[in-house]
Amino acid sequence: MLSQVVQNALNDQINYELTSSYAYLSMSAYCELQNFRGCAKWLKIQSEEEYTHGMKLYNFMLARNCKVELREIGKQPTDYGSIVGVFEKALEQETSVTRRIEELYELAFKERAFAELVQLQWFITEQVEEERTARDVVAKFQMVKDDPSAMLDLDRELGSRTPGADEGDAAAE
């Protein structure tokens, strides 16, 4: 049986992923109201991805015969100051998720929770990608910030995002 301390930490991680989903949704709403519909679409897809991350752990907990505890999700900001501010916040969020995944991995290692270590490896790889993507978007917005037509191009580029094929099956696992 999985130790209580690892179960607690996994339930915490479900909460972080779902909170992250909620945060991206709020960012999406902000962008939509600023008429950056491409950014809004990108962020909504990101929100859906975070939901699948939460569900991956949710399904994993149940497969391990553990109790899922859904915790409180806090109120989200409604104003991010600017479009680049949204993505700076997103990057900050991703680096904090990475830190939490690493702490969880360390705990699972100490507790000799081998199946959990294997499951968490997926999240470690995923976070490398998530951070890189957020960092790229921030860098692009910082580059174009005083050029409205370049901003619109970037918005269009982000709007071409489609839900990732590798994410689609996560919630169903």
Residue nearest to Mg ion (CB): 53
Closest approach, Cβ 18 to Mg ion, in A, equals: 10
Closest approach, Cβ 70 to Mg ion, in A, equals: 16
Which one-letter DSSP state was computed for residue 61? H
End-to-end CA distance of the chain: 21
Query: CB-wise, 52 or 154, nearer to Mg ion?
Result: 52
Interacting residues with Mg ion (CB under 5 A): 17, 50, 53
Closest approach, Cβ 119 to Mg ion, in A, equals: 13
Which one-letter DSSP state was computed for residue 79? -
Say if CB 141 and CB 154 are below 8 A apart: yes
Tokens of 135: 């960092």
Say if CB 141 and CB 83 are below 8 A apart: yes
Query: CB-wise, 88 or 155, nearer to Mg ion?
Result: 88
